[in-house]
Structure formats: structure tokens, C-alpha cells
């Protein structure tokens, strides 16, 4: 079986579905990683809605959602994932940063509480399982042939990076995270070592990073440096700044590919087969 990675949302911070963002896409973070009938969903940004429609068309009824963290752009698709409302469907929702903050179920319930949302979490009719772990844990009981390693990222309120080792392929998902200019984060290098694909927080560029220090994000140039130091094969530039319209993204894509042939820029509904 091949491991397939499909990007359903590639933007950071807030959805931006304007005519100037149609080529690269305006949905926020959501990625489907599948291996035959088994599927992980990475984050629940606005891209999750379209994934839900797609799963219903395909007759798929289950999955495991791994959240990096629970900032809006990574969870605002959660209440709009239709399969959650359907009896006979089965999902597990996992997060690594909330054990000391009430747990993932409570945080998602507060997201869907009045007066900011009209449908409560209790309205979900699928078989739902909410699991908290601690960033740094290794998860081995998700699917046969899959080992998920995790690590804490540097981000306000915490975030969890993931390394998926699945039937000989390694996919890493490292967003949202901030780097120190001039330094390589050894914990990120360890997480992405030898990966086939690294999906990394490339919100900014080295050129415009200085005023954004403390905001919890990184740059595509840092992604290249980390991948090269870690012996990773491919960098998917991800979590695009909504300020970057299609022409700006095209310039980043050209520069990044010039800097390192292993770069690609993630777009909404792009599929990679590993
Ligand atoms: Zn984000
Ligand atoms: Zn965030």
C-alpha cells in the first residue's frame, strides 16, 4: 500500500478564500494521510469541511484526528465535518498539549458552546473517542504498521509536532513552531530525521521574520536548513501567510526551489504519493 498525503487546507491564521488566493488555496490547516483503508487527519482547520464531503462520497466512515494544537485556524473546521454527525461513523480525536488544561474533549466542547456556536459537541452522533497524550509520547496503537512519534513545538499555548512512520515511509508534520534565528532546533531535527516528507510551518520568510518574533511561526528558509541538517528528502512549504496572494506565493515557490530542489509548496487539494 502507498502512503498518500492530501492537503485539504494549507493556510495559516485565518481562511482567505479570495480570488487572489485561488491557486494555492485559502483553507486553513487540514491534511489527510492515508494508507489503504486507514486514515489520519492532521488538524481540523477549514479544509476539514471538504474532506468530510469527500469521505462521504467515498463511503469512508472512520479516521483518527491528530491535532497539533487548538488555535482557531486548526479547529474551526471541526464543527463542519459532516461525518461527525452521522451514526455508524467512528472517529478518535487526539491532542498532546491539553492534559493540564482540561483535555481535548472539554476544549472542543467549549469551542462549540453557546453563545459562540449553536450546535453543542453532544450533538455529534458518530462514535467519538477523545484521547489526550503528552507531546513527546510515542503512539503505537493507532493502526497496524504505524508508529507516531511526537514532540513539543515552540508556540504560544503549546503545539505538538508529529512523525508518522508508516510501512517504511516517514511523514512529518511540524506546525506551528518558532525558531531562533541562527539556531537549529535539535528537537525538530530529531523529529524529522531521514523523513521522506516534512510539512513545516513556513508562514514567513527570513526577510520579513524580524517583526514577527514571538508570534510562534517560522520561515521556509529555516525549513530548508532543518531538512538539510536532518537528511530529509522533501520539504512541503505550509501554513502560508494569508497576506501572501498567489503572485507572492509563486515568488516564494520559485525562490525556494532555486534554494533547494527538495522544496514544494503545498496547495489546497494537492496529493502526494510516497
Ligand atoms: Zn496556525
Ligand atoms: Zn497556532
Q: First-to-last CA distance in the chain?
A: 10
Closest CA relative to residue 200, chosen from 231, 168, 224: 224
Whether the per-residue pLDDT at 1 is higher than 80: the answer is no
Q: Average the pLDDT over 235-249 and give the result.
A: 98
pLDDT per residue over 78-91, tens digit each?
999 999 999 999 99
| Mean model confidence pLDDT for the chain | 98
Task: Give distance in angstroms: CA of 218 to centre of ligand 1.
Answer: 11
Q: Is the peptide bond before 219 cis (omega within 30 degrees of 0)?
A: no
Name the pairing type of β-strands 197-201 and 235-238. Answer: parallel
Q: How confident is the model at residue 227 (pLDDT cuts 50, 70, 90)?
A: very high
Q: How far is the CA of 136 from the centre of ligand 2 (A)?
A: 18
Give residue 71 CA to ligand 2 midpoint distance, Å: 5
- The pTM assigned to this predicted structure is 0.98
What is the residue whose three cell numbers read 513552531? 177
- For residue 159, report the distance from its CA to the centre of ligand 2, in Å: 7
Residues with CB under 5 A from ligand 2 (ion): 71, 176
CA 45 – ligand 2 centroid, Å: 11
Distance 88 CA to ligand 1 centre (A): 31
Q: Is the pLDDT of residue 30 over 90?
A: yes
**Taking residues 45-51, what's their average pLDDT?**
98
Query: What is the side-by-side order of every strand in the sheet holding 263-265?
Result: 138-139, 146-153, 159-166, 169-174, 197-201, 235-238, 263-265
Query: According to the model, what pLDDT value does residue 188 have?
Result: 98
Shortest-distance ligand to the CA of residue 159: 2
Task: Answer yes or no: is pLDDT of 168 > 90.
Answer: yes
Cα gap 162→125, rounded to integer Å: 28
Instruction: Provide the phi-psi class of 216: left if phi over 0, else alpha when psi is between -120 and 50, else beta.
Output: left
93 C-alpha to ligand 1 centroid (Å): 18
| Segment 25-33 mean pLDDT | 98
Q: Which CATH class is domain 3-273?
A: alpha beta
* Strand-pair category, 197-201 with 169-174: parallel
Nearest ligand to the C-alpha atom of residue 178: 2
Distance 19 CA to ligand 2 centre (A): 25
How far does the centroid of ligand 2 lie from the alpha carbon of residue 228, in Å?
A: 25
CA of 57 to the centre of ligand 2 (A): 31
CA of 155 to the centre of ligand 2 (A): 7
Confidence of residue 100 (pLDDT cuts 50, 70, 90): very high
**How far does residue 168's CA lie from ligand 2's centre (Å)?**
30
Ligand 1 geometric centre to CA of 241 (Å): 10
**Residue 73 Cα, ligand 1 centroid: separation in angstroms?**
5
Amino acid at each position: 500500500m502507498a502512503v498518500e498525503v492530501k492537503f485539504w487546507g494549507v493556510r495559516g491564521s485565518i481562511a482567505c478564500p479570495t480570488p487572489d488566493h485561488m491557486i494555492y488555496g485559502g483553507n486553513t490547516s487540514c491534511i489527510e494521510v492515508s494508507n489503504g483503508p486507514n486514515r489520519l487527519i492532521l488538524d481540523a482547520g477549514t479544509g476539514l469541511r471538504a474532506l468530510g464531503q469527500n469521505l462521504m462520497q467515498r463511503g469512508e466512515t472512520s479516521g483518527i484526528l491528530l491535532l497539533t494544537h487548538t488555535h482557531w485556524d486548526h479547529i474551526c473546521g471541526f464543527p463542519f465535518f459532516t461525518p461527525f454527525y452521522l451514526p455508524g461513523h467512528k472517529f478518535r480525536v487526539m491532542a498532546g498539549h491539553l492534559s493540564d488544561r482540561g483535555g481535548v474533549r472539554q476544549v472542543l466542547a467549549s469551542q462549540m458552546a453557546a453563545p459562540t456556536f449553536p450546535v453543542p459537541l453532544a450533538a455529534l452522533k458518530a462514535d467519538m473517542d477523545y484521547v489526550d497524550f503528552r507531546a513527546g509520547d510515542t503512539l503505537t496503537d493507532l493502526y497496524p504498521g504505524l508508529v507516531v512519534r511526537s514532540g513539543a513545538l515552540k508556540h504560544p499555548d503549546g503545539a505538538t509536532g508529529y512523525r508518522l512512520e508508516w510501512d517504511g515511509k516517514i511523514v512529518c508534520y511540524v506546525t506551528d513552531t518558532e525558531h531562533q534565528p541562527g539556531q537549529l532546533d535539535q528537537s525538530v531535527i530529531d523529529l524529522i530525521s531521514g523523513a521522506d516528507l516534512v510539512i513545516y510551518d513556513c508562514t514567513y520568510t527570513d526577510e520579513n521574520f524580524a517583526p514577527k518574533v514571538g508570534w510562534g511561526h517560522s520561515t521556509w528558509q529555516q525549513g530548508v536548513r532543518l531538512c538539510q541538517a536532518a537528511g530529509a528528502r522533501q520539504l512541503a512549504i505550509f501554513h502560508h501567510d494569508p497576506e501572501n496572494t498567489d503572485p507572492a506565493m509563486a515568488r516564494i515557490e520559485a525562490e525556494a526551489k532555486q534554494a533547494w530542489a527538495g522544496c514544494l509548496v503545498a496547495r489546497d487539494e494537492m496529493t502526494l504519493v510516497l
